[in-house]
């Protein structure tokens, strides 16, 4: 069916570059390439060769380097050809047209990776990680995705999937070979085995809170009364002078936003207008936007001038921020005499930089990050995986309750299979053979 086609696509981004790459994958890849190119030497696997791209009149269009990866040792596990052209969009387009003319079909988005998956070369999490790796904007995101392309998620799921399979095998054997006197697993044994599995699944599912932040980045709004030092802190976190800083209260009238990086995670920083009672129209509009920015942000820094007393209005703002979501109270100007941080406030000086790295850490921690979790491989970064893990845990809990209630094992097994199916959708399928092998490997049936 679709795997019968030989597909082609330009693999490099649009625009002019030193090089541009066209990829060709499928059974007819070499035949099509031979039709389009004049090779200077033999096309051998993993040996780049010079090849001329000529138009039908025989005029040279480009001199290219062609590399052939023979099936199954290629990205797609099919015969794959990579053509390095000079990076002119018209040349790449022409090359692609010629390949199509010679019998290739234009690839759909992601189709090369889809083929790698369909041929069993990579599992679903790896395919998804390839996409994340391509879309990474920070090195840390790239590292997390790269570990996943190496199967980090599947590796974390594998141990508890194996434990579940053991339990299924135990119970299946109890049913299938009941007449052979193999004792059926008692309820206590079933729940004893289920508990660590459920715990491990839920722990992995929880890593999504931070994994999602790592993959998608987050937004951070800086709010507070006028002159607290919001714009100064914004510039400090950004490590550049972007927002205007003055001693005149009410300078910032509109939202200013910029992208930065915290612990390798992209963050959208938003500087806002100072929040205070005001009768002036423009300032009031600015304040409205500040409040909106605060409710839109993933996390809010509520900043005060720590060298002066906080008034009732300040506390009101703080309560509002905390009731809306994740917030951190910050006391700024720690360099000034008379400075004091109240309980729960993080002390910083936007001017000297004192306390700023603690503040960054506090933000990462609020988002669910910790040094251990940052070092962990196989963070869950997609909602699909999180849902499947939660579904698996739910079914296993149900199975545990059923076991305690004395429900027949055939019924409990249905729940266990549902849980297994959910895990399978993360790592790839468990076949009936897997279960049978397990049964025969762990039990001495003696027949």
Ligand X SMILES: Nc1nc2c(ncn2[C@@H]2O[C@H](COP(=O)(O)OP(=O)(O)O)[C@@H](O)[C@H]2O)c(=O)[nH]1
Residues that bind ligand X (CB under 6 A): 224, 226-232, 245-247, 251-252, 274, 332-333, 335-336, 349-351
Q: Considering CB distances under 5 to 8 angstroms, the limit depending on partner class, which of ligand X, Mg ion, none binds residue 332? A: ligand X
Taking the CA atoms of 318, 322, 325 and 331 in sequence, report the sign of the dihedral they define. Answer: positive
Residue with Cβ nearer Mg ion (248 or 444): 248
Q: Considering CB distances under 5 to 8 angstroms, the limit depending on partner class, which of ligand X, Mg ion, none binds residue 246? A: ligand X
Q: Which of 252, 290, 300, 332 binds Mg ion (CB under 5 A)?
A: 252
In angstroms, rounded to a whole number, what is the distance separating the alpha carbons of residues 241 and 129?
Answer: 36
Q: Which of 231, 346, 381, 430 binds Mg ion (CB under 5 A)?
A: 231
- Angle 202-205-207 (CA atoms, 0-180°, nearest 5)? 115
Q: How far is the CB of 348 from ligand X (least distance, A)?
A: 7
User: How many residues bind to Mg ion according to rule CB under 5 A?
Assistant: 3
Q: Is 83 exposed, middle or buried, given 0-12, 13-18 or 19+ CB atoms closer than 10 A?
A: buried
- Our finding on whether 235 is near Mg ion (CB under 5 A) is no
Q: Is 145 exposed, middle or buried, given 0-12, 13-18 or 19+ CB atoms closer than 10 A?
A: buried
Q: How far is the CB of 112 from ligand X (least distance, A)?
A: 49
CB 283 within 8 A of CB 273: yes
Q: How far is the CB of 341 from ligand X (least distance, A)?
A: 12
CA–CA distances in Å: residue 106 to residues 6, 26, 143: 9, 12, 31
Taking the CA atoms of 431, 433, 437 and 438 in sequence, report the sign of the dihedral they define. Answer: positive
Q: Considering CB distances under 5 to 8 angstroms, the limit depending on partner class, which of ligand X, Mg ion, none binds residue 247? A: ligand X
Per-residue x/- track, 393-422, Mg ion (CB under 5 A): ------------------------------
Q: How far is the CB of 350 from ligand X (least distance, A)?
A: 4
Question: What residues does 219 pair with on adjacent strands?
Answer: 268
Residue with Cβ nearer Mg ion (256 or 329): 256
Q: How far is the CB of 11 from ligand X (least distance, A)?
A: 46
Report the half-sphere exposure of 372 (CA within 13 A, side-chain side): 1
Question: What residues does 268 pair with on adjacent strands?
Answer: 219, 259
Q: How far is the CB of 229 from Mg ion (least distance, A)?
A: 8
Taking the CA atoms of 120, 121, 127 and 129 in sequence, report the sign of the dihedral they define. Answer: positive
In angstroms, rounded to a whole number, what is the distance separating the alpha carbons of residues 81 and 119?
Answer: 17
CB 332 within 8 A of CB 226: no
Q: How far is the CB of 334 from ligand X (least distance, A)?
A: 7
In angstroms, rounded to a whole number, what is the distance separating the alpha carbons of residues 429 and 431?
Answer: 6
Q: Which runs of E-coded beta strand occur in 247-351?
A: 256-262, 265-271, 299-305, 326-332, 345-347
Residue with Cβ nearer Mg ion (305 or 415): 305
Residue with Cβ nearer ligand X (42 or 247): 247
Tokens linked to 278:
């005001």
Q: How far is the CB of 228 from ligand X (least distance, A)?
A: 4
Q: Considering CB distances under 5 to 8 angstroms, the limit depending on partner class, which of Mg ion, ligand X, none binds residue 229? A: ligand X
Q: How far is the CB of 297 from ligand X (least distance, A)?
A: 16
CB 348 within 8 A of CB 235: no
Residue 199 has a CB neighbour count (10 Å cut-off) of: 12
Q: Considering CB distances under 5 to 8 angstroms, the limit depending on partner class, which of Mg ion, ligand X, none binds residue 179? A: none
In angstroms, rounded to a whole number, what is the distance separating the alpha carbons of residues 334 and 352?
Answer: 9
Residue with Cβ nearer ligand X (228 or 263): 228
Residue with Cβ nearer ligand X (147 or 333): 333
The stretch near Mg ion (CB under 5 A) out of 134-142, 223-231, 283-291, 321-329 is 223-231
Residue with Cβ nearer Mg ion (89 or 250): 250
Residue with Cβ nearer ligand X (84 or 290): 290
Question: What dihedral do alpha carbons 234, 240, 241, 242 form, nearest 10°?
Answer: -70
Residue with Cβ nearer ligand X (190 or 331): 331
Residue with Cβ nearer Mg ion (67 or 252): 252
* Strands laid side by side in the 37-39 sheet: 37-39, 49-54, 60-69, 80-87, 17-25, 7-10, 105-106
Q: How far is the CB of 326 from ligand X (least distance, A)?
A: 21
Q: Considering CB distances under 5 to 8 angstroms, the limit depending on partner class, which of ligand X, Mg ion, none binds residue 149? A: none
| Site residues (vs Mg ion, CB under 5 A) | 230-231, 252
């Amino acid at each position: 069916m679709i795997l019968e086609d030989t597909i082609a696509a330009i693999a490099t981004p649009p625009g002019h570059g030193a090089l541009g790459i066209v990829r060709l994958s499928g059974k007819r890849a070499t035949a099509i390439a031979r039709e389009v190119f004049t090779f200077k030497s033999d096309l051998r696997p993993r040996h780049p060769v010079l090849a001329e791209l000529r138009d039908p009149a025989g005029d040279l269009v480009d001199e290219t380097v062609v590399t052939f990866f023979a099936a199954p040792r290629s990205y797609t596990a099919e015969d794959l050809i990579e053509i390095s052209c000079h990076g002119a969009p018209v040349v790449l387009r022409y090359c692609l047209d010629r390949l199509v003319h010679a019998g290739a079909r234009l690839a759909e988005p992601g189709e090369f990776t889809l083929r790698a998956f369909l041929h069993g070369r990579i599992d679903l999490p790896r395919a998804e990680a390839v996409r994340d790796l391509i879309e990474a904007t920070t090195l840390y995101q790239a590292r997390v995705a790269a570990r996943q392309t190496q199967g980090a998620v599947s590796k974390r799921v594998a141990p508890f999937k194996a434990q579940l399979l053991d339990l299924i095998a135990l119970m299946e054997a109890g049913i299938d070979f009941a007449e052979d006197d193999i004792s059926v697993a008692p309820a206590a044994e079933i729940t004893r085995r289920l508990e660590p599995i459920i715990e491990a699944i839920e722990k992995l599912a929880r890593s999504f809170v931070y994994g999602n932040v790592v993959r998608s980045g987050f937004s951070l709004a800086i709010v507070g009364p006028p002159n607290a030092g919001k714009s100064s802190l914004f510039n400090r976190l950004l490590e550049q002078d972007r927002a205007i800083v003055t001693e005149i209260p009410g300078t910032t009238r509109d939202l200013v936003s910029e992208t930065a990086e915290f612990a390798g995670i992209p963050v959208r920083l938003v500087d806002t207008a100072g929040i205070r009672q005001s009768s002036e129209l423009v300032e009031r509009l600015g304040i409205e936007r500040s409040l909106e920015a605060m409710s839109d942000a993933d996390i809010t820094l509520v900043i005060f001038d720590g060298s002066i007393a906080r008034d009732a209005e300040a506390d009101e703002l703080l309560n509002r921020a905390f009731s809306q979501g994740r917030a951190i109270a910050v006391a700024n100007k720690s360099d000034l005499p008379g400075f004091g941080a109240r309980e729960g406030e993080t002390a910083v000086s936007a001017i000297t930089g004192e306390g700023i790295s603690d503040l960054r850490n506090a933000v990462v921690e609020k988002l669910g990050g910790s040094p251990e979790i940052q070092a962990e491989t196989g963070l869950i970064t997609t909602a699909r995986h999180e849902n499947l893990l939660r579904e698996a845990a739910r079914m296993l809990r149900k199975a545990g309750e059923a076991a305690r209630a004395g429900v027949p094992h055939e019924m409990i097994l249905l729940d266990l299979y549902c849980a297994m199916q959910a895990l399978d959708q993360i790592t790839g399928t468990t076949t009936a053979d897997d279960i049978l092998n397990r049964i025969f490997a762990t039990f001495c049936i003696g027949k």
